[in-house]
Amino acid sequence: MAALGAAFFFCQPATAQTDTTATQAAPQCELHVWPSSGLRSVYYGWFHGGIVDGAVNGRDGYPPIPKDPVSTSLQAELLSKLNLASILQLPNYQVVVHDQSLDSRAIRAAAGRLSTSTSSCYAELVGDDVFFQQDVFSGGYLKSLIRFRSFGSSNAPTRVFSTWSRTKLIAFPPKEDAGNAEALRELHAAYVSNIESFGTFLNKPIKKKK
Burial annotation 10-48 (CB, 10 A radius, 16+ → b, else e): eeeeeeeeeeeeeeeeeeebbbbbbbbbbbbbbbeeeee
Q: 31 vs 20, 34, 44, 197, CA distance in Å?
A: 20, 10, 37, 18
Pick 119 or 187: Cβ nearer other proteins:
187
The binder of other proteins chosen from 31, 126, 145, 195 (CB under 8 A): 145
Site string for other proteins, 113-132 (x = CB under 8 A): ---------------xx-x-
Taking alpha carbons only, the member of 67, 85, 87 closest to residue 187 is 67
The binder of other proteins chosen from 66, 82, 166, 193 (CB under 8 A): 166
The yes or no reply on residue 44 touching other proteins (CB under 8 A) is yes
What is residue 90's three-state secondary structure? Answer: coil
Quote the least distance from Cβ 64 to other proteins, whole Å. 18
Residues forming contacts to other proteins in the complex (CB under 8 A) are 40, 42-44, 50-53, 103-105, 108, 128-129, 131, 133-138, 143, 145, 147, 160-166, 197, 200-201, 204
